[in-house]
Amino acid sequence: MSDDTFDDQDMSQEGSFAELFEQSQVGKSQLEPGQKIEATVLQVGSEWIFLDVGQKGEGVLDTRELLDNEGNLSVAVGDRVSAYFMSRKGGELRFTTRLGGGSAGTAQLEEAWRSEIPVEGRIEKEIKGGYEIKLPGNVRAFCPFSQLGQRRQDNPEDVIGKTLSFRISQFSEQGRNIVVSHRVIQEEERHQQRAELMTTLKEGMLVSGTVTNIRDFGAFIDIGGLEGLLPISEISYGRVQDINEVLQVGQQLEVAVKKCDWEKERFSFSLRDTLANPWSKVATSFPVGSTHTGTVTRLAQFGAFVTLEEGIDGLMHISKIGGDQRIKHPQDVLKLGQQLQVTVEKIDLDEKRISLAPVSNKEEESLETSYEEKATGGMGSFAELFKNAQKKK
């Protein structure tokens, strides 16, 4: 076989490979300016990041667009990034994550408007109905209050000077009338986060969230992509009287997913489930027969609830409160917030119940704390309290 034959075969193979490559591109949709895609980082350079965009030719992205506030690169080879297609030159596909800085003028801003490409803008000042935004090329735009975010700012002046990504919603008068929105970008990001959560969020998981609203019955927590309720009963093992004393809007929390119902759009969280259960040490910390100082936290017709420590409450039945005398209600002798010496009579770990009894007069006198209370004019024993209450009547 001659060398010419080998050359012909090599050329034929090369031709076949080229044809196969071209055929592999057939059916792939051509990118349109402004189209958003997910790409894989192939190589990172000092000026350009090269992307695999699933098209003939490599995608390139300005490295500066993916630097964090400290100037460090926020991606590595193999990472996935979202980018907008801008233009094609030869075999090079130019992408951006947003238009920003430099000499961008009204022509580029108009293209960003038509292609729905985000632009960077600096919030300059508050004006009637919204904010004045400085876009690339020193072009001025207007952002209504309602379009700055999903929630209205309590203090509008707090955002002055911040740089955010905006979508141009109106472009007219050759760029002299531009209206922008940051809210639509937030909504797109939230929609994407929600789609990811639908495949990953499970009951029992620990997630990070932000308190967005506080009501009497609980707090609403945003975990990025969805918002759920943290009921007041799930905040602590102890009884929470005023939720505002425990939580505040904007507070960051780690919570457990209590309920996750995508069909009914109901989500609830628990802060209590992330804490150590105080009942796990009740048997050793409060054994039957032991004496402790507790605080009266609730008075009911049938008795008084006494808190031994946060999350651990015991019940003192009304029949044990009046001594030898019958009383109509525990409030005849006791008051909320009062500290008492009590004895643990019974523990039911399954039902999480502790039965308490008042320390008798003799027992109380044998305690050092009782001597200190008498020396300082303390409240005294139950018997003394009851006698004093009867005298007042």
Portion of the chain with pLDDT greater than 90, in percent:
35
* Fold of domain 278-392: OB fold (Dihydrolipoamide Acetyltransferase, E2P) (2.40.50)
Alpha-carbon distances, residue 72 vs 63, 68, 80, 235, 276 (angstroms): 10, 5, 17, 38, 39
pLDDT at 2 over 80: no
pLDDT at 365 over 50: no
> Which pLDDT score, from 0 to 100, does residue 306 have?
92
Give the strand pairing for 291-300 and 266-270: unpaired
Domain boundaries, the chain: 32-97, 106-186, 202-274, 278-392
Host H or E run for residue 180:
strand 177-181
Tell me which residue of 136, 137, 48 sits closest to 93, measured CA to CA: 48
Q: How far apart are the first and last CA of the chain?
A: 127
> Which pLDDT score, from 0 to 100, does residue 386 have?
47
Backbone φ, ψ for residue 220 (5° rounding):
-95, 135
pLDDT at 48 over 50: yes
Residue type, position 210, single letter: T
Instruction: Give the right CATH number for 106-186 from 3.40.50.2020, 3.20.20.30, 1.10.3720.10, 2.40.50.140.
Output: 2.40.50.140
As given in the structure block, the two tokens for residue 86 are 């801008």
pLDDT at 283 over 70: yes
| In contact, 297 and 265? CB cutoff 8 Å | no
Residue type, position 109, single letter: L
CB neighbours (10 Å) of residue 88? Answer: 16
> Which pLDDT score, from 0 to 100, does residue 388 have?
55
More reliable by pLDDT, 136 or 220: 220
Sign of CA dihedral 378, 381, 387, 393: positive
CB neighbours (10 Å) of residue 128? Answer: 5
Q: What is the mean pLDDT of residues 352-369?
A: 67
3-state secondary structure of 2: coil
As given in the structure block, the two tokens for residue 229 are 């309720």
Assign 30 a pLDDT band (cuts: 50, 70, 90).
confident
Tell me, rounded to whole angstroms, the distance of Cα 348 from its chain centroid.
37
Q: What is the mean pLDDT of residues 68-84?
A: 86
CA atoms within 13 A on the CB side of 27: 3
Q: Structurally, what CATH architecture does the domain formed by 202-274 represent?
A: Beta Barrel (2.40)
Domain 202-274 matches domain 278-392 at the CATH topology level: yes
pTM of the model: 0.58
- Neighbour-count burial for 169-193, b at 16+ CB within 10 Å, e otherwise: bebeeebeebbbbbbebbeeebeee
Backbone φ, ψ for residue 41 (5° rounding):
-70, 120
* Fold of domain 32-97: OB fold (Dihydrolipoamide Acetyltransferase, E2P) (2.40.50)
Rounded Cα distance between 8 and 391, Å, is 121
Could you give the dihedral angle defined by the CA atoms of residues 52, 54, 57 and 58, in that order, rounded to the nearest 10 degrees? Answer: -20
Tell me which residue of 229, 226, 283, 293 sits closest to 255, measured CA to CA: 229
Backbone φ, ψ for residue 210 (5° rounding):
-125, 135
> Which pLDDT score, from 0 to 100, does residue 253 have?
93
Assign 100 a pLDDT band (cuts: 50, 70, 90).
low
Rounded Cα distance between 305 and 117, Å, is 62
Rounded Cα distance between 136 and 26, Å, is 38
3-state secondary structure of 366: coil
